[in-house]
Every structure is written in structure tokens, then in C-alpha cells.
């Protein structure tokens, strides 16, 4: 039975190295939940006009979508599904509730790599990940090594 792995993303192909690491260490198909943090704030106007779908459309560029397609081609049945989600909460409890609702079993997170701000409202998920009670696996890699294994871009 496949279980769900949460992997933070900044919507760069390099951030998908964690997906590859998770799949290489898996003994069963995995559901991959790629998550990006967004701080919508407490402004009523901001909340009223915020559209999760619009933000995801802006963030998921062609290079990122192509890298996901490459992973699906390479890993086939080992990759049961890939879902991209935004975490909008601002407390550890809301993050714990998010993990529960998404049925997350494990978190794969970067050891040394730091994500880029993908959007003006982007927020760092690492503090939420660190304080989570879910099993965490930290993976370190270099962007050079990642590029060398074939996920350097849409033409890679």
C-alpha cells in the first residue's frame, strides 16, 4: 500500500531532488505531496482576492512541470501520484492539521539546500517541518550534482 511523503518545493527543478531521493529509497509506490508555504496575511482584502489556483498557475512554470513529467516517466509505477499543494496556515497546529488531512506519513526535507522565494507571499516551511512530529528524513545535495543527473531544465 502506497503512503504519502511530503516534500517542500520552491517550484524549481532542483527542489525535486528530494522526490528522487524518496523514490530511490522506497520499497513501495509513493504518493508525493509537494508543498509550498504562502503567507496570505490577515488583510480582509488579501483573503477575499486570494486564489490558490491562480497562485499555483503562476508558480508551476513549464520547466518545473517538465521535471515532474520526467520523474513520472523514469519512476513509473513507483510514483503512485504527485500532488502540489499550498500551505496557508501560520501556526504549528494548523500545519499538524494539514499533515493529518493529507495523510502524510513521512517528510523528506533539505539538509543544506535553501529554497528560493518563488512568490512575493512565499514563506519558509522548514521551521514547521522541523517541529513536526512526523518522521523526517533530511537529504543533502548540491545543485551541480542534481544538474548532472539530468534534471537541469526543460531540455535536460
**Tell me: the pLDDT tens digits for 2-18?**
799 999 999 988 889 89
In which domain, by residue range, is 144 found? 3-148
Q: Which of 60, 75, 99 is nearest to 19 (CA)?
A: 75
Per the domain annotation, does 140 fall within a domain?
A: yes
Question: Is the pLDDT score of 150 beyond 50?
Answer: no
Per the domain annotation, does 154 fall within a domain?
A: no
Per the domain annotation, does 153 fall within a domain?
A: no
Structural domains of the chain, count: 1
**pLDDT at residue 93, as a whole number:** 97
Which three three-digit cell numbers place residue 56?
499555483
Alpha helices by DSSP H, 1-156: 17-25, 44-49, 52-59, 62-75, 92-101, 126-131, 143-148
90-131 residue pLDDT tens: 899 999 999 999 999 999 988 875 667 777 778 989 899 999
Per the domain annotation, does 155 fall within a domain?
A: no
Per the domain annotation, does 40 fall within a domain?
A: yes
Per the domain annotation, does 29 fall within a domain?
A: yes
Provide mean pLDDT across the span 19-41. 92
**pLDDT at residue 51, as a whole number:** 84
| Upper half-sphere CA count for residue 74 (Cβ side, 13 Å) | 13
Per the domain annotation, does 125 fall within a domain?
A: yes
| Upper half-sphere CA count for residue 57 (Cβ side, 13 Å) | 5
- Residue 106's φ and ψ, nearest 5 degrees, are -145, 160
Per the domain annotation, does 156 fall within a domain?
A: no
Domain with residue 119: its CATH number is: 3.40.50.620
Amino acid at each position: 500500500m502506497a503512503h504519502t511523503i511530503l516534500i517542500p518545493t520552491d517550484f524549481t527543478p532542483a527542489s525535486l531532488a528530494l522526490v528522487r531521493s524518496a523514490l530511490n529509497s522506497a520499497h513501495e509506490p509513493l504518493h508525493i505531496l509537494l508543498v509550498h508555504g504562502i503567507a496570505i496575511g490577515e488583510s480582509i482584502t488579501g483573503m477575499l482576492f486570494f486564489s490558490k489556483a491562480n497562485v499555483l498557475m503562476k508558480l508551476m512554470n513549464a520547466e518545473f512541470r517538465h521535471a515532474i513529467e520526467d520523474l513520472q516517466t523514469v519512476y513509473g509505477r513507483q510514483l503512485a501520484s504527485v500532488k502540489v499543494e499550498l500551505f496557508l496556515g501560520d501556526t504549528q497546529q494548523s500545519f499538524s492539521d494539514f499533515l493529518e488531512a493529507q495523510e502524510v506519513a513521512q517528510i523528506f526535507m533539505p539538509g543544506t539546500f535553501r529554497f528560493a522565494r518563488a512568490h512575493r507571499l512565499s514563506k519558509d516551511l522548514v521551521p514547521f517541518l522541523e517541529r513536526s512530529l512526523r518522521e523526517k528524513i533530511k537529504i543533502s545535495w548540491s545543485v551541480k550534482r542534481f544538474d548532472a543527473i539530468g534534471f537541469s531544465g526543460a531540455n535536460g
